[in-house]
Structure 1
């Protein structure tokens, strides 16, 4: 039998260029955490200097100290323990301390008093609206379901620190917000609709990330001084999570609840319909919309029947700047600046607002969102357009769409997946190092020919 010498291709350790050593993720660096908390401290420190509201000044002082301490902890302690400790310090300084002080001393923005008064009126007369309001504080610019958050105050009263803590509307607004975020995350895990990140990139744990979101000025400030938009934000997150999971009835019920809080939540129905149409089909989208509209109508109708004129004046005319009294929402946004020019400017602002809404609606039809993050971004864009072009608005309203986009990225950590293979790429096992050797094989059995 003849033998031929065969040379196998060899890959030695000298010829292999492996990937570079993995660098520390940006969110895991001490400098990133320390810089972030310092920026938050500077933002909070501006309130005691620039704000004329006592609630904002108290929050700014406490939060600036908490954020500064969190920055020191982030830079001074090593490893993940520093992150957890810094988040805890920031939560204490920016949320716990100012919230407890404001609640126990009875200080809050006017929105809290409005919610608590509307809860009392709802129990007494079946509608949260005063028939003949004489000043701005007498107006209730919210839909009837918002009054439910003020009922605890009417039940427990205002005597003693325990009653103040249990009855304050801010506590219940925060509770609804946190419960909705937790329920949305559980629903996403159960339905397995949150995308699995590609590769093995390390990520900030969801619990820590949500704690950072709550401790940030975007959530901490409204949570402590008013809290009125937090239940709306949380319910929008939960509704989109239900829609992403293909649950039209549950999404419709949640949308009914959020749409009976404030009229600004109604665009969420269109976004949830578009998402459900992509996930579960047209019939599921229509079922969700029908449930949402019917449920919201049932919640709103009793108050609309009992006090129709007061509801139109306080819920529609007053927030848009067309009521008998001027609205205090007067931030220099484009819509407000146009409305200040007179009737022509007001109609121009409304026209731009309608055009912006139609553009967002057209985008939903032309390119409907296919997952949670895309739906949250589309709803956030619509809300940003509405708040920016509305004839009356506040900068504080912009926190709602920003929180919505931030939470969606924590709950649905998608990463782009390459659509085509790179030419010349080798599989992972091709980088194995094979020792150099010579082998011999019988002729005609796989050797050279």
Structure 2
């Protein structure tokens, strides 16, 4: 005679695991606050439209203010519809309007020109940059790929970003267990915020970098080779991906899974950066190294009242202090990675966000918009890691 012991039925008493899941859902507060957040975003967009210095920014502010206002009304009754309305009204509609009217930030034309130069001359960098800052190409060679098709680069920026973020969210969702609830509201609302919507419409060269970085983080859970490919690809676009690439290396080294990651990332970086730099060393150094450091006749107009920029404005001594502080911050973050490497993907995302936030504050030339990186990475850190099942088989929210 076989006796089977069944688990006790789940009841509604105060210790009910389902109750704990609901109380611990991290995006629950977002659902309650979303209409107010969209109203706040609408106010920001309206002020931005009235005070922005360029026509493209004013056009975005006007369209986004309407989009966010509609999202605030819709989100009262439907969270999903409110989020869709916010992103469509503040990002996709302004993007279509600006493409149709030919308005964009300078980086869009720079990327389009670099793609054309790559097709004609085999290098994305101009042979002799002019005296204007727009004559330089400050990006790494991989960015020229977005200028090869003849389409407005913003379409490709947004498409790659959306595909990579969605893939990263799906991978993260699969690690939350079959009964995982929510846990993605913080990231989704961040993606609908002006931090993302504005660059989608007016520029967006940071978006594919950030999307590939988030995808690499999601893949790092159990696909180190694929993570190396994704983060290596991000690293061929802009150096802003390198802090994430290095952080994931320390994460995987602590797990003894770094070999395939290193091989894959090195192969992509060699093909996307090393070979083009070897073929045109002068153009690479002038455009991708000296210009971002402010060591060329024309310098970047990027400026915000952040510590690094303020120190640089004091002259050579201030520039030296800003560079020393930036190096000190890099060393401090590096030492923390060596002594206490992150143990999971969420910890790696948070560590990379911290490092990038410090770098943005101390760079000689930085914009407020660069905080897009730490903001999205910090939001990505709220996505679930694989949790252990409880005795009753209920999987709690890993991001709580």
| Same structural fold, with TM-score higher than 0.5 when normalized by the shorter chain | yes
Aligned to 1:19: 14
Shift in Å at residue 290 of structure 1?
Answer: 3.8
Question: Matched residues in 2 for 1:248 and 1:90: separation?
Answer: 35
Equivalences for residues 343-382 of structure 1 within 5 A = 343-382=316-355
Q: Deviations over 1:346-404 (max 9, x none)?
A: 11111111110111111111111111110000111111111111111111111111111
Question: Matched residues in 2 for 1:302 and 1:223: separation?
Answer: 30
Shift in Å at residue 313 of structure 1?
Answer: 1.5
Question: Matched residues in 2 for 1:270 and 1:28: separation?
Answer: 33
How large is the Cα RMSD of the aligned pairs?
A: 2.8
Question: Matched residues in 2 for 1:378 and 1:220: separation?
Answer: 25
Contact 2:116 2:148 in 1 (8 A): yes
If you compute each CA radius of gyration, which structure gives the higher value, 1 or 2? 1
Question: Matched residues in 2 for 1:249 and 1:74: separation?
Answer: 40
Question: Matched residues in 2 for 1:393 and 1:105: separation?
Answer: 28
Equivalences for residues 233-244 of structure 1 within 5 A = 233-244=210-221
Q: Deviations over 1:156-215 (max 9, x none)?
A: xxxxxxxxxxx11011011111111222234445xx5x3559xx89536x4x66553332
Distance of aligned partners of 1:383 and 1:31 in 2 relative to their CA distance in 1, 3 Å threshold: closer
Distance of aligned partners of 1:343 and 1:177 in 2 relative to their CA distance in 1, 3 Å threshold: same
Question: Matched residues in 1 for 2:305 and 2:298: separation?
Answer: 19
Q: Unpaired segments of 5 or more residues in structure 1? A: 1-16, 154-166, 418-426, 429-449
Q: Helix, strand or coil for the counterpart of 1:266? A: helix
Aligned to 1:100: 96
Contact 2:234 2:241 in 1 (8 A): yes
Shift in Å at residue 412 of structure 1?
Answer: 4.1
Distance of aligned partners of 1:88 and 1:195 in 2 relative to their CA distance in 1, 3 Å threshold: closer
Distance of aligned partners of 1:289 and 1:201 in 2 relative to their CA distance in 1, 3 Å threshold: closer
Q: Unpaired segments of 5 or more residues in structure 2? A: 1-11, 393-400
Q: Helix, strand or coil for the counterpart of 1:100? A: helix
Is 1:171 matched up with 2:144?
Answer: no
Is 1:182 matched up with 2:166?
Answer: yes
Contact 1:41 1:63 in 2 (8 A): yes
Contact 1:37 1:68 in 2 (8 A): yes
TM-score by length of 1: 0.77
Contact 1:27 1:33 in 2 (8 A): no
Question: Matched residues in 2 for 1:138 and 1:287: separation?
Answer: 39
Aligned to 1:275: 251
Question: Matched residues in 1 for 2:352 and 2:116: separation?
Answer: 33
Is 1:299 matched up with 2:294?
Answer: no
Contact 2:98 2:104 in 1 (8 A): yes
Shift in Å at residue 310 of structure 1?
Answer: 2.1
Q: Helix, strand or coil for the counterpart of 1:332? A: coil
Equivalences for residues 381-400 of structure 1 within 5 A = 381-400=354-373
Q: Helix, strand or coil for the counterpart of 1:409? A: coil
TM-score by length of 2: 0.86
Shift in Å at residue 146 of structure 1?
Answer: 0.2
Shift in Å at residue 30 of structure 1?
Answer: 7.0
Question: Matched residues in 2 for 1:29 and 1:267: separation?
Answer: 29
Q: Helix, strand or coil for the counterpart of 2:382? A: helix
Distance of aligned partners of 1:149 and 1:274 in 2 relative to their CA distance in 1, 3 Å threshold: same
Question: Matched residues in 2 for 1:185 and 1:234: separation?
Answer: 11
Distance of aligned partners of 1:263 and 1:73 in 2 relative to their CA distance in 1, 3 Å threshold: closer
Q: Which of the numbers 241, 255, 261 marks the counterpart of 1:265?
A: 241
Q: Helix, strand or coil for the counterpart of 1:152? A: coil
Aligned to 1:219: 196
Shift in Å at residue 45 of structure 1?
Answer: 1.3
